[in-house]
Amino acid sequence: MSAFDQVIARCLPLIPRPIVRAVSRRYIAGEIFADAARVITSLNREGLLATVDVLGESVDRAELVGRAVGEYLEALDAIRRDDLRCNISVKPTQLGLMIDAALCLDSVRRLARAARDHGNFVRLDMEDSRCTGATLDLHRTLRAEGFGNLGVVLQACLRRSLDDVRDLPEGTSVRLCKGIYIEPRVIAYRERALINKNFVRLLGEMLDRGLYVGIATHDEEVVWEALQLIDRRRVPTEAYEFQMLLGVDQELRGMIRAAGHRLRVYVPYGSSWYAYSVRRLKENPRIAGYVVRSLLAPRRP
Ligand code: FDA
């Protein structure tokens, strides 16, 4: 972590709420689904796909799980009603993973069933390494019940991910990202160069296995490596998509799309924007650094 990022991370608790709100506006669609729907409609018009995330995680009360499920069910209805090209991304700890595994399984099942009825898809976001095994188990159990419309995420920073790719059921849709959580060295690679190498290695394995891959990165070097792999192996455009977070590097996003690749934008919304923003910034101060740098950087005309 650079000295600049360390300073930013230490100052976070001192930053007034309205400033965090102003900064997060670029990365969070708003507080209610209608805000997200406006953003998704405009992304769809640009030829981009979306995945929507109702902000919230580490829920410790069953009634909050019920509320999250309700919000996602409403989102799925609205996506169908408004004919949006958008699926949903859910966090297992928002659906009760830390309270009761059976409650979480039941909640994900309800969403996967509703999504299947709507011809839609549910992505299980991957949280910190305490959740990895349980999240992959959820996916395996529900796939065995016939929910082919449920996908997972693997993190290139985790040492276990290569084994996890090899264990994924045939035909799984998997998002590959670097991993946002700070993990102990015995569990995760820490060097950026090594994480990038592992990202490309895992992507190669996924393509070899014929899995549908969501290549989730804003790192142009990794994008370049991914495009090399896709080109060399003549992977058809229907077998993968790129994925990026709302508000991050729209120039790169435009270039990937203009080159004819599918691209999906991750659109978070919800009333927990403050907790989400502060937690993300604290967890990974490099992001705080990007945000502040982007605020300080002169805007291009
Ligand atoms: P890297 O961190 O090297 O960033 C490359 C460049 O992108 C930076 O130089 C910077 O300019 C810019 N950048 C990256 N992130 C930024 C940000 N937040 N704000 C502003 N600029 C930024 N993680 C996880 O653990 N579980 C998950 O389920 C997901 N899901 C997910 C979905 C999607 C669609 C994306 C794109 C990412 C995730 N992630 C995630 C987050 C991921 O693990 C990773 O932390 C970030 O994508 C940053 O890594 P990059 O690959 O972009 O590279």
- Provide the 8-state DSSP code for 300: P
Query: Which residues face 265 on adjacent strands?
Result: 50, 244
**pLDDT tens digit string along 19-43?**
777 777 888 999 999 999 999 999 9
The residue whose CB lies within 8 Å of the most ligand 1 atoms, and thus the one to mutate among 25, 55, 180, 296, is: 180
Nearest to 52 by CA among 103, 119, 121: 121
- Regions of the chain where pLDDT drops below 70: 1-10, 12-13, 279-301
Residue 152: name the closest of 105, 143, 5 by CA: 143
What pLDDT score was predicted for residue 293? 61
Q: Report pLDDT for 298.
A: 45
Best residue for ligand 1 mutational test, from 132, 154, 177, 266 (most atoms within 8 Å of Cβ): 177
Q: Which contacts qualify for 285-292: CB closer than 8 Å, 24 or more apart?
A: 285/1, 285/5, 285/6, 285/8, 285/9, 286/1, 286/5, 287/180, 288/5, 288/8, 288/9, 288/12, 289/2, 289/4, 289/5, 289/8, 291/23, 292/8
Compute the distance from residue 198 Cα to the ligand 1 centre, in Å: 15
- Helical ranges in 82-191 per DSSP H: 101-117, 132-144, 161-167
CB 214 within 8 A of CB 173: yes
The atom number, within ligand 1, closest to the CA of 265 reads 34
What would the DSSP string read from start to end of 269-281?
Answer: ESTTHHHHHHHHH
User: Is the CB–ligand 1 distance for residue 125 below 6 Å?
Assistant: yes
Spacing, Cα 217 to ligand 1 middle (Å) = 6
Q: What was the pLDDT predicted at 291?
A: 60
SS (H, E, C) 47-104: CCEEEEEECCCCCCCHHHHHHHHHHHHHHHHHHHHCCCCEEEEECHHHHCCCCCHHHH
The identity of residue 209, as a single letter, is R
**Structural domains of the chain sorted by starting position, each given as residue range(s) with its CATH number in brackets:** 50-72+87-269 (3.20.20.220)
Report the pLDDT value the prediction gives residue 36, as an integer from 0 to 100: 97
Nearest atom, ligand 1, residue 123 CA: 28
Q: Whose CA is nearest to atom 10 of ligand 1?
A: 290
Q: Is the CB of 99 under 6 A from ligand 1?
A: no
- Provide φ and ψ at 207, rounded to 5°: -65, -40
Residue 109's closest CA among 72, 75, 84, 62? 72
Residue with tokens 């992959």: 136
Name the residue with the closest Cα to ligand 1, atom 51: 217
Looking at residue 300, its pLDDT comes to 40
CA of 146 to the centre of ligand 1 (A): 31
pTM for the whole thing? 0.92
**Which of 93, 122, 127, 178 maximizes ligand 1 atoms within 8 Å of its Cβ, making it the mutation to test the pocket?**
178
Cα distances (Å, whole numbers) of residue 17 to 23, 83, 187, 212, 254? 10, 35, 34, 40, 32
Structure-token pair, residue 72: 């996602």
Q: Is ligand 1 within 6 A of the CB of residue 153?
A: yes
Q: Catalogue the active-site residues.
A: 125, 175
117 C-alpha to center of ligand 1: Å?
31
**In contact, 230 and 258? CB cutoff 8 Å:** no
d(CA 125, CA 88): 10
Tokens at residue 169, please?
Answer: 């059921």
pLDDT for 14: 72
CA distance 184 to 161: 15
285 lines ligand 1 (CB under 6 A): no
